[in-house]
Structure 1
Amino acid sequence: MNPLAPVSLHPGWFFMAGCPFVQQLAEIPTLKQLFATLGIAGPLWQASFDPLWQIAVVPLSLCLLGFGLVGLARAFGTGFGQAGALTWPILSFLAGFLWESLQADAALKNRLPLPLEGERLVLRGFVDGLVRHEQFPPSASFPLRVQACVQATSWCPVGSTVLVKINASKFSAAVSTRASHNNGAPPASASAIASIRAGSVWHMDLRLKALHAQRNPGGSDLERLAIQSDWVARGAAPESHIEKLEDIAMHPLAWVHRAREQLRLSLMASFLAGDPDRSGRFSGRDPDNQSATSPHLARAMAVIEALVIGSGEGLDPEQWDAFNRTGVGHLLSISGSHVTMFAGFSAFFGVGLLRLVGASNLLSMRWHTMAVPRVLFASFGAFAYTLIAGFGLPAQRTCAMVLVTGLMSLSGRRHAPQAVLSCAGVIVYLIDPWAVVSAGFWLSFAAVAALVLSGQAMERPINPEQQRSLVAWPSIKSSLHEAFRGQWAASVAMIPLSVLFFAQISWVAPFANALAIPWIGFVITPASLLLAFVASISSSLAALPLYYLSVITEKSLTLLDGMAQWTWISSHSALPPEGIIAIAVIACVMLIWPLAPWPRWAVALLLLPLMFWPDDRPAEGELRILFFDVGQGSAVLVQSPKFSLLYDSGPAWSLDARSDGRNAGFQPILPVLRSRGIESLDLMVLSHADLDHTGGALSLQRHLRIGQILSGSPNTEPSLGGLDVKPCHRGVEIIGPNDQSRPARDGVEQDRGLSRETRLRFLHPSPPSAPQAESGLQPVIEAPTLLRKVSRNNRNAHSCVLLIEHQGRSLLLPGDLPALQEASVLLHEPAEPGRALDVLLLGHHGAANSSAAIWLDYWKPAAAIVQSGYQNRYGHPQRETLNRLCERTISLRRTDLEGAIEIHIGVDGEIRWQNERNRVKRYWTRLIQPSSACQREPANQSKEFNSND
């Protein structure tokens, strides 16, 4: 075999190339744009069609014409010469483009229209998945597949999914009203929540909200996930009109999800029956109740549940991060390897059963081989496991690959592995047109492609000496060699993709997988599936084996935890340009290529730029400030060439969420820092102890080196627990080492990383020994409403106020400082500031009791930024605050509508603005024009606009 022989590309690859081409567009092209691209003018230029046909007519016509010409040519035995070789690739590309465009247009039409946001809609549908229970506050979350709209409406998402959340108290009140008319005995809150089961049919009066994602550099994209999963809106149920209609819907998916739920309950019941510490304490339908499980085995049971039914909700993000650092995360969730393994087991045991009952000879005579039963059993096993896993997209992809591979193997012809892979890819795209934008697609296909490419080395001739050595151990040596080669090829292929999607490289992944794949893939996973089947028949029969399996699983996880603690097992890299990633991909192909004539050590040098790409830091003399989009919270990154400061760390959903990864520090702040190569922070300032400002600090401290943490609140606050916090106060100033303009005095610190053009100065709170002057300032405040929350919000009153100055520009970060303390700050400032403020972060997310008139008049900011949650329940930014900005012609920027906002201050002092929603635009991105502060409609209402406006 010639290792450098050209590889003919299957038309399926060109079909798949047309799909990602559409995914990179900022908007779906119209007919007019397509005609302009193709150079077609005349009457068609002014044609007006439905948008769907605007997309479809040109590619559809070309495809029909091309396929017709190819058919005629083949029918008459003629060809097109050299041009004929380009016909199928071009037509395949256009077909892929057409398919993706049609799917995208239909998905965009199905989303919640902006005028209906906040309105109530009465829907009938069934619970299309497992119900997720939360204890604090008690609530239930689930996807509702819409079957009908009860009332007449201009938009009805029949067949699509609405993500619903019901609070336990509200639900109980509604059900209790109906129960009082029936039995007179209102159900308890727990039983009310438990009555929401997978597959059950409900009548709900929902208040709808768009799926508007937080957008940050390098972060996840919920809007893309929503359009991929056919989620059209969020829904919240009010206290009335929530009624259960049927116990289970007459829909295949409803029965599948009910079976999964029952399997989940059986697993938990069997485990608790076998747990000597908790035996007999299972309380019914609340598998998410962790108090019913031994704490030291709760994680092991969550892993077993994830392997059986594909529900990884029991594992928090911090645990997933530890698994990914060791490179075994794909083994602890249902992925392609699990579906493939189950298909192989099904074929093995199915054919074995046929031979056991004596049917193999009869079938062999009928089909001349046992290949047909083997493929049927493998396909059935893959499809069954896909259903058990919830029919998720990753499992669907692998099931399609197993089916395509089996059918092509039965065709009687030898197909190239590239053709099999491309056909499987086409099937995947037909099932999931948005697969190209998911990391799982690229990771799974790259791993399979690497195994296929490296496997070509087996076709080389074997000399007599090699043959004699193979005879020495005929199976062990060849098996070990094949396994090592496959693991090495897959690990090499993952290097550029890991940097692209996760900004990290796991150095121990090959070794960890060499141990974990046989153990988890061939011991724990089959045992979990077998015991789940036994538990569904008899809980007591599976109790003891399941308990011991959980003990063994926990020991394995403890070993992985120990590996994850090693600091050298993984490294994070700044995201390099596309060209560097392309070079790395080519280098990986050359490394994997069998019998390559080039020296592999020289090719490996091409990976060095990818692995050691320099940090994405500002140039010398520049400053970069990033206002994260963290919802209803605050987080600001200040970065100079050698200094990094984080002001606030975003929200956490509860005190426990500070440590388990369900906070803004773990997602999205940490991925952004990693994508920029930031492994340490010189200073972290937590303005005060409210959880929407300190929620992510503990997660960041676990994953980053932090030089110093300052806060205006004492470290005795629960939200600051586990942090080495020092007080910040007025008079503390941080300057560069070469800045001689400030006299040496107490409170002035020099930092070698800070440039001489940058100064950080704290304006509040007062030092502990300083006299308090706030009591005489009340007459200065004009509006009494500004003081309405000061008395009961002492945390806000102690917010650290930080003034940043660079190259003659200034920026003020006030935390949640109330108006009374704003006036106190001004008492210690000069009568007039040296110059007007350039950027002001609105205090308390734009609440009316902050950013008082006297505060705005003193600083005279040119622009204001507000960090708040989209359509938040507090109405931030509030109308009173917007009126003050309007009266002073202060421009307003909003992270809830624009995504993360970044400011670049250049060497010349020029300020450049950039927001994430306009920086990375895709056709599914919701682009919303922020309302002017002077408009009279509510502040959280906005107009949608076209990206070209």
Structure 2
Amino acid sequence: MRLNILAFVAGVLCLQWQARLPDMAWVWALPLLASAWGLPSKSLPIIRWARRGLLLAFWLALGFFYAAFFAQQRLSQQLPTAWEGVDVSVVGVVASLPVTAERGQRFEFDVEKVLTAGASVPSHIQLSTYTRDFAGHILPNAITVHAGQRWQLTVRLRRPHANQNPHVMDMEAVWFARDIRALGTVRERGLHELITPQVWQYAIDITRERIATRFDTVLAGEPYTGVLKALAIGDQSAIPVAQWQLYQRTGITHLISISGLHVTMLSGLMFALVYAGWRRSSRLTLWLPARRAAVLAGALTALGYVLLAGFGVPAQRTLYMLWVVALLLWSGRTLAPTRILAWALLVVVLIDPWAVMAAGFWLSFGAVAALLFATGARVGDAHWLRAWWQAQWAVTLALAPVLLLLFGQVSTVSPLANALAIPLVSFLITPLALLGSLPQMDWALHGAHSLMAACVWCLQYMANLPMWTQAQPAVWQVLLALAGAVWLLLPRGFPARWLGVVWMLPALLVAPAQPQPGVLWVDVVDVGQGLSVLVRTAHHALLFDTGPQYNSTADTGNRILAPYLRGEGVTKLDALVLSHDDNDHTGGAVSLLQSVPVARIYTSLPVHHSILAGTAARFSQCRAGDAWLWDDVRFQVLYPTLASYAEVDRKDNHRSCVIKVSSAGGSVLLTADIEAEDERYLLANAASELAANLLIAPHHGSRTSSTPDFIAAVAPKLTIFTVGYQNRFGHPRGDVVARYAQADSALARSDRAGLVAVKFAPKQQMQVTYWRQQQRRYWWGD
């Protein structure tokens, strides 16, 4: 049965890789495969193997079409394009713990009724409220919502759409898995009315918010309040980015959530307490045996904790395993641990077919499987310290290939950090945090915070050790490395265990793809309404702009560029160009400079700008006439002029760095946010240098740029507009797009194409790849 369950899960996973959903008419093939049950199980070997293969194919197909059926149901809940960006009045309930952001709140909303005539809205959406505008001014009509409240709201919605780049989390997949079928904002000037203060069907979310409020009140201003909230109620939104980076570098991120270890610990503690107390009462034991009472108490405690914590995949896995164990103990039966794990795996996927897309799914089940394989069926009892170290070694070794595939890096101090953090977090900090959720238990919260502070102090020393970082390995390399890890975890004395190391080497020694001398690679990264372009030659890399900053803790640098560069194997930048002082071009610079070494910075920003703090030795002004040669590829700065820096009142756009990159196979013109005035200057002073095969449209396709004469001088074969989906500026403007089309230029938009990769090689045509076409998934919008 275990192989059948694995085949079913593999079928569900195969469905999630599809660009289009299958024709459900093929589901009638299932009875044909199921007919293999009629073949004799005790017959010729070829018949037995055929029977087994057909039945595995049946379970694989069953999982595939099971997931396809639910995917079709979810896709039917889609916001019509006619109702994107239109004010709609709805009635519904706040269905999640509201997340406090810098300018307002973000929360999930169950739509019960649509009041706007003719409007169609999905039943489950995500909304944001704003208390301040973009300039920071307070909005007088802003509202504050709480979990479980029923509201009438005026909202403006759009389809879920996210930036799409290699090696970066697919937020569209995350929203789809959470059944969020539209995103939107609550209109500040619209009609808003609180109808019901508390809808008790949402009692769990109401309770979670009350606990979160208590934590914020008791631990006001303390740095690790967010961690304690994550451990108690599964709310990770208040953990700063710097802390996440520390936990990632030390390999303990699995502890800063409701992990299976926490659920097991709490359930076991309740089992022990109830068993110890129940057995002392003869009346209670006559009514119900102490062991059964303790089993029931432990199972119910696990259920309550998992519900309170948001029902994440690691916690679900443990809950189902504990309940299977509880049922076995209640009935007096036994079952192999691997069978328990397999049944838990099946239940998780049956309830949530999209769980297979979450990294936590593979890390959670993979860790337990590694422990069972490495510690099961061993002869003799090992010392507890040795057993503990063997468990850490098994989990680290087995999950290393998965971590490289998912994140492109592995913590080298993970076994040591986990040896410290697991007992501290699981057996002290988490119980104290849960105890502190009760009234009058402030001392427990302060104690948990002090212990967490001590743990972080130790982790900071460990974090100074280097991480294993490399280009993302291919799937076949990861599978081979997993086989090698399994081989290494075989019992001592097994012959040729060293072969496991050999099998792991291809995944650990990945050589990133690099262009040959004279070849030019240009990647226009999808950063939404902003700009970031990676230019690579044989031995050098230049990044032109860093995209926008979203808030004080999140920006393009840490959310998109750092993981993208790591996945591509770009460990350092030879040059970073910050074209001009606009958030959508330099917003990710600070976090990028913190995570990636940069040899030289070219910019029109003043040297005393806050972004450039500590970079004076690497600072160079963008000045027309500067040029350099890398690997037979020429880089030329065409704009701005040296004299423009003396014009104090000059608009930042009019000081944008313009760089042309030329190779034997073609060229690209990077124009940032220049406008018509700057284009006229270039036409007058650098007209012979403007012609390029690839043009990044000036100012995202604004009407202030892309004059007919400039387009004619550049004569691009391909023009790319770097714009955000449904952006508030209306970029690119229709008349500007028409000008490029009339000039016979092919057109691409980053919001529709995702990352655009362009390769220029001598004596070859320009090669263009669009990420949304290359890696299309069925849940992506058109």
Provide the TM-score with structure 1 as the length reference: 0.77
| Correspondence list, 1:754-793, <5 A | 754-756=630-632, 758-768=633-643
Aligned to 1:164, the other structure's residue is in SS state: strand
1:664 paired to 2:552: no
The CA deviation at 1:811 is 0.8
Q: Which residue of 1 aligns with 2:108?
A: 143
Q: Deviations over 1:650-703 (max 9, x none)?
A: 11024xx3xx3x010111111111111111000000001111111111111111
Q: CA deviation at 1:722?
A: 5.2
Q: Does 1:436 align with 2:429?
A: no
Q: Structure 1 residues 771, 237: closer, same or farther in 2, change over 3 A?
A: closer
1:168 aligned onto 2:23: no
Larger CA deviation: 762-771 vs 664-673: 762-771
Please state how far the C-alpha of 1:596 moved relative to its aligned partner. Answer: 5.5
Instruction: Give how far 1:58 is off.
Output: 4.3
CA contact (8 A) 1:271 1:544 kept: no
Q: Which amino acid aligns with 2:636?
A: R
Does 2:331 match 1:384?
Answer: no
Tell me the alpha carbon deviations over residues 744-794 of structure 1, each in whole angstroms, 9 at most, x when there is no partner.
xxxxxxxxxx212x000000111249999xxxxxxxxxxxxxxxxxx9871
Q: Which amino acid aligns with 1:261?
A: E
Q: How big is the shift at 1:589?
A: 0.7
Alignment of 1:392-541 (within 5 A): 392-458=312-378, 460=379, 462=380, 478-533=383-438, 537-538=439-440
Q: 1:734 to 1:411 in 2, by over 3 A?
A: farther
Q: How far apart are residue 886 of structure 1 and its match?
A: 3.1
1:735-754 to 2 correspondences below 5 Å: 735=629, 754=630
Whether 1:133 and 2:105 are equivalent positions in the alignment is no
CA distance in structure 2 between the partners assigned to 1:417 and 1:111 by the alignment:
42
Q: State yes or no: 1:198 paired with 2:164.
A: no
Q: 1:169 offset after TM fit, Å? A: 6.1
2:294 aligned with 1:374: yes
**Contact kept? 1:695, 1:719, Cα under 8 Å:** no
Match of 1:729 in 2: 623
Match 1:697 to one of 565, 569, 589: 589
Contact kept in structure 2, 1:644 and 1:682, CA below 8 Å: yes
Is the aligned partner of 1:631 residue 2:541?
A: no
Q: Tell me the distance in 2 between the aligned counterparts of 1:192 and 1:855.
A: 45
1:247 and 2:197 are equivalent in the alignment: yes
What is the alpha-carbon distance in structure 2 between the residues aligned to residue 359 and residue 900 of structure 1? 70
2:266 to 325, 339, 342: 342
What do residues 131-165 of structure 1 show as CA deviations (whole Å, max 9, x unaligned)? 12234xx322211112222345473433xx21111
Change (3 A) 1:455 1:544: closer
SS of 1:706's partner is coil
Alignment partner for residue 516 of structure 2, among 619, 625, 640? 619
What residue identity is the alignment partner of 1:642?
A: H
CA distance in 2, matches of 1:479, 1:362: 37
Tell me how far apart the structure 2 counterparts of residues 869 and 201 of structure 1 sit (CA, whole Å).
Answer: 32
Of 865-874 and 599-608, the range deviating more from structure 2: 599-608
Cα deviation digits, residues 155-211 of structure 1 (max 9, x gap): 3433xx2111122269xxxxxxxxxxxxxxxxx9799644x1111001122221010
Q: Deviation at 1:93?
A: 2.6
Structure 2 CA distance for partners of 1:421 and 1:879, relative to 1, 3 Å: same
2:490 equivalent in structure 1: 593
Q: Which residue of 2 aligns with 1:210?
A: 159
Q: Distance in 2 between matches of 1:145 and 1:771?
A: 56
Superposition deviation, residue 843 in structure 1: 1.2
* Residue 155 (structure 1) aligned to one of 112, 120, 126: 120
Per-residue Cα deviation, 1:250-269 (whole angstroms, up to 9, x for no partner): 42xx1111111111112222
Q: Which of these residues, 203, 210, 220, is aligned with residue 262 of structure 1?
A: 210
Give secondary structure in 1 for the equivalent of 2:376.
helix
Contact 2:122 2:182 in 1 (8 A): no
Partners of 2:84 and 2:139 lie apart in 1 by 29
Counterpart code for 1:24: W
Q: What are the within-5 Å matches in structure 2 for residues 203-352 of structure 1?
A: 203-238=152-187, 239-251=189-201, 254-272=202-220, 293=221, 297-298=222-223, 300-352=224-276
Contact 2:292 2:329 in 1 (8 A): no
Give the counterpart letter for 1:271 in structure 2.
L
For residue 106 of structure 1, report the CA deviation from its aligned partner: 0.8
Cα distance in 2 between the residues matched to 1:859 and 1:192: 48
The one-letter code matched in structure 1 to 2:249 is: R
- Provide the secondary structure at the position in 1 that maps to 2:335: coil
| Residues 197-242 of structure 1 deviation map (CA, whole Å, 9 limit, x = unaligned) | 1110011222210101110011111111111100000122221222
Conserved 8 A contact 1:809-1:909: no
Q: Distance in 1 between matches of 2:428 and 2:775?
A: 44
Q: Which residue of 2 aligns with 1:562?
A: 461
What is the deviation of 1:646?
0.3
Q: Note closer, same or farther for the CA distance 1:794–1:721 as it changes in structure 2 (3 Å cut).
A: farther
Q: Is the 8 A contact 2:33 2:54 kept in 1?
A: no
User: What CA distance in whole angstroms lies between the structure 1 residues aligned with 2:504 and 2:149?
Assistant: 53
Identical aligned residues as a percent: 30
Change (3 A) 1:372 1:236: same
Partners in 1 of 2:86 and 2:35 — Cα distance? 47
Per the alignment, residue 741 of structure 2 pairs with 886
Residue 469 of structure 2 is matched in structure 1 by 572
Corresponding letter in the other structure for 1:14: A
Contact 2:268–2:298 (Cα < 8 Å) also in 1: yes
Residues 861-872 of structure 1 mapped to structure 2, 5 A cutoff: 861-872=716-727
The one of 625, 639, 651 equivalent to 1:794 is: 651
Residue pair 2:313, 2:361 contacting (<8 A) in 1 also: no
Please, which of 594, 600, 613 is the counterpart of residue 708 of structure 1? 600
Instruction: Report the counterpart of residue 904 of structure 1 in structure 2.
Output: 759
Following TM superposition, by how much is the alpha carbon of 1:420 offset from its aligned partner in structure 2, in angstroms?
1.4
Pair 1:96–1:769, CA change in 2 (3 A): closer
> Structure 1 residues 270, 578: closer, same or farther in 2, change over 3 A?
closer
Offset from partner CA, 1:475-528 (integer Å, 9 cap, x none): xx6322221221111111111001000100111101111111111111111111
Measure, in 1, the Cα distance between the counterparts of 2:211 and 2:9.
37
Asked if 2 retains the 8 angstrom alpha-carbon contact of 1:902 and 1:914, the reply is yes
- Residue 810 (structure 1) aligns with: 667
Change (3 A) 1:721 1:633: farther
Give the secondary-structure state (helix, strand or coil) at the position aligned to 1:680.
coil
The match for 1:95 is 62
Distance 2:339 2:404 in 1: 28
Structure 1 contact 10–418 (Cα < 8 Å) conserved: no
- Equivalent residue, structure 1, for 2:565: 673
1:852–1:599 Cα change, 3 Å = same
**Is residue 11 from structure 1 mapped to residue 11 from structure 2 by the alignment?**
no
The answer for the alignment partner of 1:21 in structure 2 is: 14
Question: Contact 1:28–1:101 at 8 Å: present in 2 too?
Answer: yes
Secondary structure in structure 1 of the residue aligned to 2:395: helix
Separation in 2, partners of 1:686, 1:192: 36
Structure 1 CA distance, aligned partners of 2:337 and 2:183?
43
Q: Deviations over 1:281-323 (max 9, x none)?
A: xxxxxxxxxxxx2xxx32x111111111111111133321221
Q: Tell me, yes or no, if the aligned pair for 2:665 and 2:766 is still in contact at 8 Å.
A: no
Alpha-carbon distance in structure 1 between the residues aligned to 2:34 and 2:714: 66
* C-alpha separation in 2, matches of 1:634 and 1:865: 11
CA distance in 1, matches of 2:140, 2:392: 48
Distance 1:169 1:670, change over 3 A: closer
Shift of 1:25: 1.7
CA offsets 1:320-372 (integer angstroms, 9 cap, x no match): 12211110111112222222222222222222232344566436xx55xx543
CA RMSD, Structure 1 to Structure 2 (Å): 2.6
**Helix, strand or coil at the partner of 1:713:** coil
Q: Is the 8 A contact 1:839 1:862 kept in 2?
A: yes
Q: Distance in 2 between matches of 1:201 and 1:601?
A: 62
